[in-house]
Structure 1
Amino acid sequence: MKFELSEKWWQTPLAKSVGLHVALVLGLVISSLSFWPKPTQITLSGEAGSASAEPPPPPPAPVQAVAIDRQVLEQRVAEIQKQQEDAKRAEEQRIRDLERRAQQAERARAQEEARLKRVAEEKRKADEAAAASRRAAADAKKQQEAEAAKAREAEQQRAAREQERKKAEEAAKAAEAKRKAEQEALAKAQAERERQAREQRERAEQERMLQEQLAAEAEARRRARAQQAVTEVQRYTAMISDAITRNLIKDESTMRGRSCRVNIRLATNGFVTSVNVISGDRVVCDAAVRAVNRAGTLPMSQDPDVYNQLKDITLTVAPEF
């Protein structure tokens, strides 16, 4: 701001007036120079170096006037310089005043800006506080409503408990009456139960003796049947092995001393449902599988117990030569 004001001081009326006076004084100075006396001319002549000087003419009458004009001019110039210096000092003072006012205005602007910022911050904090207050009020209202709901629920629960208590008292009274009636009935029925208990013990003893007898007979029959089933299993196992051997194509050079274990699953009529190799010589195993498939149906007992033991049978096929 100081630079801009310093640049424009010459545009003020005072500066224009000072400039006009300076131009007038310079014009007077230039015009008065033609009236000044000419310098004395000295001519040197003669062999001996004698010099003859022409005496200067007496000064003309206007010289005194010129001297007076120069003194006035210098005084005027001094006055103009003083006016210029005064104007310059006044302008500088004016510029300093403007700068001071500008600084004051800048400080006022900064203070106002700071005040506005404080006001905005206070407003923001007030808004936040108001929002927090509204939220707190909403939370308090929700909590109050929740507490009211809990109170209503507690009252309902209390009423329900009271109703249940009354029902329980009524039920207790009914139960007491029923208990008394049951005690009376129990006293009457106790003798009957004791009598029936005696009769049940007697019947139970008779039943136990009968069951023991029947169990002994059943065990005897089971043992006999198991022995018979074992014999039947052995017999049909031998028959199945014979049927496989009959259908087995043997080669002494590749099978002598070798064997194969196969698992065979049979239907109730002896039909082969599957045959699988478990372990053994590959040549013997291939021949055994072909023999089982060639037989198609193997011997099977009609006894369910025997079938249950033969339906999933594992055999060892060892060709004999």
Structure 2
Amino acid sequence: MADNSNVALPLSISAGIHIGVIIILAIGIDFTHKPEPVQQVSAPAVKAVMVDQQQVANQVEKLKQEKRDTERRERERQAELERKAQEAKQAREREQAQLKQLAEERKQQEIETQKANEAAKAAQLKQQQEKEKAQKAEADRKLKEQERKLAEDAAQKAAEKRKVEEAAVAKAEADRKQKEAEAKAKAEADAKAKADKAKADAEAKAKAEAKAKADAKAKADAEAKALAQQEQEMADALAAEQAALSQTMNKQMQTEVGKYTAMIKSTIQRNLVVDESMRGKTCTVSVRLANDGFVISSQTQGGDPNVCRATKAAILKAGKLPVSPDPAVYNLMKEINLIVEPTFN
């Protein structure tokens, strides 16, 4: 019994030292590592001049990529925890083998101690995993909320911009109709005045002819010459009036052409996907239009290749471009050359 007591004390000391080493190794495993916080992406300010749906899509993709990077780092951290746990387990197994060789009677005590340690580690690991799961769920919620807000802001700004453009088009159309009515009224008034003058002149001429019958033949020759001169003056006045009316109509048509050209450029700019490499660069494009605005064809005539590709894509996306209901204006615009220069907010 004395010999057993002498052996048991050193064995107890040795076992205690080894158990302490195992606990230190277990505590050394980093169970407190927290996943890197998801970088908060501030929503860019979207101005009301032009709206670009592609920029919104790029921002959403960036946020999703950051989420995937966070999940990848979490998987790597979990793998590192498992590796350390495996190393600790292997160390424990080696220690158990040594303790078994030192003292068989202490085996049951070591097993119970090991189970207690493993239970504590499992509880700690479970607590850490639940904490990380809650943090990840909160990060996902914030990301989805940010994406929703970005989409709502973009939709609101697009709607506001569309209302402004529609109001501008309606005002331009009203102004055009008013000018056409004014020009028509003026032309009719001028034509009536000319007709009244011609009628008065004709009456005067009839009176002069009646009086001339009573005059001598020499006097009749002079009156015939005066009559020819008067007819020439009337013809000249009528020609001048027609020229003035034609000039007025041409000016109105050019105004319409300028207005619809601006509307076509605005439609192309609205569908144009731009980047910084296009700043200050242009593209000349030739477009053929049907009388309902349908794009029959578009050909680039020169300019920056990136701007030209984006311009053709914007025209294709629009499908139809604004055209005047006036056939004369349409004939001037059915084949139109445009210079497109990207605009930036």
For the aligned pair, the TM-score class normalised by the smaller chain equals 0.3 to 0.5
Higher RCO structure (Cα 8 Å, ≥6 apart):
2
**When the two structures are superposed, what TM-score results if normalisation uses the length of structure 1?**
0.36
Please identify the structure whose Cα radius of gyration is greater.
1
**When the two structures are superposed, what TM-score results if normalisation uses the length of structure 2?**
0.33
